[in-house]
Chain A
Amino acid sequence: MSNTKYILGSFADPDDMMHGIDKLQANNISIYDCFTPMPIHGIEAKLGVKPSRLPIAAFCFGALGTTLGFSLLYYTMVYDWPMNIGGKPSFAMPNFVPVTFEVTILLCALGMVATFFFRNHLFPGRAPRVMDLRATDDRFILAVDAKENADHALIDSLLKEAGAVEVKYNDRKYVSYE
C-alpha cells in the first residue's frame, strides 16, 4: 500500500475545479476540502457545507452590547450618581441612544470576528495548514483523502478529464511546515 495521504487536483481555473467536483461526486468519491485563492460562490452547496451560523453569533453579541451599553448608562446616570443637569431628568432616554448604539456595534463586530477566528482556529502565530503553496496564489486545489478512496487511478483520470493541470500525491497532509 502506498504512503499517499492526499491526492490533490490542481486547477488553473475555478470553473474546471467545479467541473472536477461534479465528476468526483458522480463517481461517489468524497472530497476532503478545496483550497482556493478567492471565494468561489456556490461551492458550499455543491460540497454540502452547511450555511454559516455566524449571523446568529453576531446578533447575540449585538444584543449583549445593547444590554451592557444601556445598563452602563442607566447605572451611572440614574442609579449610582444622578446629577442635576439644568433640572433635566436623570433618565434622559434620547441621550442614551448614541453610546448604546456604539457599544452595540463594537461588541457585535468584535464578538463576531472573535467567533470567526475561534471556529477557524485563526490566531497570530498559528502554523498554516496548507496543502499546496500555490493555493493562495493562482491554483484551485481539490483535495481527496487517499485512504478513504482507494481507486487512485480513477481519481487521477477524473481530475485530469475535468481539466486539472497537475495531480499530486502527497505523503504528508500539510506542506507548509516541517
Chain B
Amino acid sequence: MSSHNESILREPLMTGKDITYAKITDDILLPVENKPNKAWWIGFTVAVLGALLWVVSVSYTFWTGIGAWGLNKTVGWAWDITDFVWWVGIGHAGTLISAVLLIFRQNWRNSINRSAEAMTIFAVICAATYVVAHMGRPWLAYWIFPLPNQFGSLWVNFNSPLVWDAFAISTYFTVSLVFWYCGLLPDIATIRDRATGLKQKIYSVLSFGWNGSVKTWQRFEIVSLILAGISTPLVLSVHTIVSMDFATSVIPGWHTTIFPPYFVAGAIFSGFAMVQTLLLILRKVMNFENYITMFHIESMNIIIMTTGSIVGVAYLTELFIAMYSRSEYEMYAFENRMLGPYAWAYWSMMTCNVISPQLFWFKKIRTSIPISWILSIVVNIGMWFERFVIIVTSLHRDYLPSSWAMFYPTWTDVGIFVGSIGLFFTLFLLFLRFLPGIAIAEVKLLLKSSSLQHKTKLAQEGAFPAEQVEYFQESLEKYDSVTEEEIKELSVRK
C-alpha cells in the first residue's frame, strides 16, 4: 500500500500544514520553474569567479608542468593528492545516503539523497582533475588504462594501487552518475509535463520518455535497490583503494594496515559534514524547511559524531601502534607529526576532527542550525588537514636528514584548491537551477506515512495512546518548522 500507519513514536520526516502531492511538486520545482533569485545570482557569480581561478591555475600547470607547484625532491606529493583525497572523501556521503540508507530502509534519506548524490558527482569531478593534473603530462593520462600500444604491447602494472585507483574512481563516477540519473528520470518527467515550448522539448529528451506506468515503477525500484546493493561495497572499495595508494608503500606513517577502515570512516565523516554545510543553506534559501527537517539535521550530526569518534580512535591507534612497533622510523614519523615543524597542522586536525564533533553529544548543540553549520565547516577544514598531515609530514623528513625539506604552496597550488571549490559550487548551483534539489517522487512517498500532517490526523482520531502522543509532542519541540499551535493540536480529539 502507498500508506501505512507509522508509529507515532517516530519523529516526522515532513512538517507543514495542508501539504498535498501538488504542493510538494510546486514547492520543490519553485526554483526550477522560476527565474533564480538574488541569492542564487550572488552565489553563482562568486562560484564562477572561483571556477575561473581554477581554469587559470590548471591551465598554468598544464603549460609549465608541475614545477608550477611548490613540490621539491623530498615532498613529491602535497596539495594535489591532499585535495584529491579530500574531494573523493566528500563524495562518499552521497553514495552512503543514497545506497546504504536505502538498504537499511532509512526513509529520511528520501529528502536529502538527490542533492547529496549530485554533490558526489561534482566532488568526484573535482577529484579527478587532480589525478590528471598531477600526472604532469595530462595528454598521456590514458596510459593508466590497459590499452594496446606501440610498445608491443606493454601493459600497465596491475599490481599497483595507482592503477586500481584509476579503475575504482572511474567505476565509482560512472555508477554514481547512472544511479543519480535513473533516480532523476521521474522528476524530469514531472518538469516536462508541466512545461511548455522549448523547455518542454529539452526536458522531454532528458526524461527518456518516462511515463510512470506500473511496470516502469516496478523495474525502477528493482534497479534502485540493486544499484544501492552494488554501490555499497563499491564506495567502501574506492576509499580502501585510495588508502592503499599510501598503505602499500614503505613510507613510515603510510605503511599501516588500519588505513582502509580509517580512510572510509574519514570519508563518511567529511562527506556528511559537506552535506550538512550545503543542506543547511539549501533549506533556508530554497524554503525547503518542511522537507529537510530538524530530524534530518540531527541525524546527520549524529553520524558526524559517530564517524568523528571512529576517526579519533584511528588516530590514537596509529600513535599506539607506532610506539608498540618499536620501529625507530615509525616512532619518529609520529613524533615529528606531533612535535615537528608541522605540529600546528597535526593539532588543528586533532581539534577539528576529534574534539569538535564531540560537542554533538549535547542535544542543544546538534539541534542548533548555526552551530551545526559552523561545526560542519570545522570538520571539513579538519579533514583537509588530516590528508595534509598524512601526506606531507610523512614525506618531508625522509631517511636522509640532508634531504629534509619543508613544503610551501605556490599561488598555483592555492589557486587550484580554491578554484576547485568554485568549480564545485558552480556545478551545484547549476544543478539546483535546472533540476529538482529534492527527489520529488520519493518525498511524495512520505506524505501518507511519515508526515506530521498525517500523524496529527491519526492522533486526533485517537489512533494512539495519550502518553505516546505526549512523547511525540516533546520530540517536536526541537523542530524549527513546527509551531506551538501545531504541537497543541495533536492532543485535540476529533
Binding site for B on A (CB under 8 A): 12-15, 18, 33-44, 47, 49, 51-52, 54-55, 58, 62, 72-73, 76-77, 80-81, 83, 85, 88, 92, 95-96, 98-99, 101-103, 105-106, 108-110, 112-113, 116-117, 119-131, 133-138, 176
B255 → chain A, closest Cβ, in Å?
Answer: 16
Tell me if B215 counts as interface (CB < 8 A to partner A). Answer: yes
- In the complex, the answer to whether B441 meets A109 with C-beta atoms within 8 Å is no
* Chain A residues with CB below 8 A from B20, complex form: 12, 138
* Chain A residues with CB below 8 A from B21, complex form: 12, 37, 137-138
Query: With A85-B159, A102-B237 in contact, do A34 and B213 touch (Cβ < 8 Å)?
Result: yes
With CB as the reference atom, state the residue of chain B lying closest to A76.
Answer: B155
Binding site for A on B (CB under 8 A): 1-3, 20-22, 25, 146, 152-159, 161, 163-164, 167-168, 171, 174-175, 178-179, 182, 185-186, 189-190, 192-194, 204-223, 226-227, 230-231, 233-234, 237, 241, 244, 440-442, 444-445, 448
- In the complex, the answer to whether B22 meets A137 with C-beta atoms within 8 Å is yes
- In the complex, the answer to whether B210 meets A109 with C-beta atoms within 8 Å is no
Query: With A37-B190, A76-B146, A105-B234 in contact, do A49 and B208 touch (Cβ < 8 Å)?
Result: no
Query: With A92-B159, A98-B168, A109-B227 in contact, do A33 and B175 touch (Cβ < 8 Å)?
Result: no
Pick from A62, A96, A116: contact of B158, CB under 8 Å: A96
* Chain B residues with CB below 8 A from A109, complex form: 174-175, 178-179, 227, 230-231
How far, in whole Å, are A43 and B156 apart by their CA atoms in the complex?
Answer: 51
Closest 9 CB pairs of A and B: A126-B209, A14-B2, A138-B21, A76-B155, A138-B22, A122-B208, A98-B164, A39-B217, A102-B167
- In the complex, the answer to whether B174 meets A106 with C-beta atoms within 8 Å is yes
B27 → chain A, closest Cβ, in Å?
Answer: 12
How far, in whole Å, are A43 and B217 apart by their CA atoms in the complex?
Answer: 10
- In the complex, the answer to whether A35 meets B234 with C-beta atoms within 8 Å is no
B223 → chain A, closest Cβ, in Å?
Answer: 5
* Chain B residues with CB below 8 A from A122, complex form: 185, 208-210, 216
Which of the listed residues B1, B158, B220, B444 has the most CB atoms from chain A within 10 Å of its own CB?
A: B158
Pick from B163, B213, B219, B448: contact of A99, CB under 8 Å: B163
Pick from A38, A49, A92, A133: contact of B441, CB under 8 Å: A38
- In the complex, the answer to whether A38 meets B168 with C-beta atoms within 8 Å is no
Mostly, the B contact residues are helix
A-B contact pairs, 15 of them (CB 8 A): A13-B448, A33-B213, A35-B213, A37-B444, A38-B445, A39-B441, A80-B153, A81-B154, A101-B233, A103-B171, A105-B234, A128-B192, A129-B209, A135-B193, A137-B25
With CB as the reference atom, state the residue of chain A lying closest to B160.
Answer: A95
* Chain B residues with CB below 8 A from A101, complex form: 233, 237
* Chain A residues with CB below 8 A from B163, complex form: 99
* Chain B residues with CB below 8 A from A72, complex form: 146
- In the complex, the answer to whether B219 meets A136 with C-beta atoms within 8 Å is no
* Chain B residues with CB below 8 A from A88, complex form: 159
Pick from B153, B193, B221: contact of A81, CB under 8 Å: B153
* Chain A residues with CB below 8 A from B226, complex form: 54-55, 58, 108, 112
With CB as the reference atom, state the residue of chain A lying closest to B244.
Answer: A98
- In the complex, the answer to whether B167 meets A125 with C-beta atoms within 8 Å is no
* Chain A residues with CB below 8 A from B234, complex form: 102, 105
How far, in whole Å, are A12 and B222 apart by their CA atoms in the complex?
Answer: 26
Pick from A47, A95, A119, A126: contact of B214, CB under 8 Å: A47
- In the complex, the answer to whether A41 meets B1 with C-beta atoms within 8 Å is yes
* Chain A residues with CB below 8 A from B207, complex form: 128
How far, in whole Å, are A81 and B221 apart by their CA atoms in the complex?
Answer: 45
With CB as the reference atom, state the residue of chain A lying closest to B175.
Answer: A109
How far, in whole Å, are A125 and B209 apart by their CA atoms in the complex?
Answer: 7
* Chain A residues with CB below 8 A from B158, complex form: 73, 76-77, 95-96, 99
* Chain A residues with CB below 8 A from B25, complex form: 37, 137-138
* Chain A residues with CB below 8 A from B174, complex form: 106, 109-110
A58 → chain B, closest Cβ, in Å?
Answer: 5
How far, in whole Å, are A176 and B195 apart by their CA atoms in the complex?
Answer: 12
* Chain B residues with CB below 8 A from A81, complex form: 152-155
Query: With A38-B441, A43-B214, A54-B219 in contact, do A117 and B208 touch (Cβ < 8 Å)?
Result: yes
Query: With A40-B217, A41-B1, A119-B219 in contact, do A129 and B155 touch (Cβ < 8 Å)?
Result: no
- In the complex, the answer to whether B178 meets A113 with C-beta atoms within 8 Å is yes
Pick from A80, A99, A108, A112: contact of B164, CB under 8 Å: A99
- In the complex, the answer to whether A121 meets B154 with C-beta atoms within 8 Å is no
Q: List 20 other contacts, CB 8 Å, given A12-B20, A58-B226.
A: A37-B21, A39-B218, A40-B1, A54-B219, A81-B152, A85-B157, A98-B237, A102-B167, A105-B233, A109-B175, A109-B227, A113-B227, A122-B210, A125-B209, A128-B210, A130-B211, A136-B192, A136-B211, A138-B21, A176-B193
B488 → chain A, closest Cβ, in Å?
Answer: 27
* Chain A residues with CB below 8 A from B157, complex form: 83, 85
Pick from B171, B215, B223: contact of A105, CB under 8 Å: B171
- In the complex, the answer to whether B218 meets A49 with C-beta atoms within 8 Å is yes
- In the complex, the answer to whether B444 meets A15 with C-beta atoms within 8 Å is no
* Chain A residues with CB below 8 A from B227, complex form: 109, 112-113
A144 → chain B, closest Cβ, in Å?
Answer: 14
* Chain B residues with CB below 8 A from A128, complex form: 189, 192-193, 204, 207, 209-211
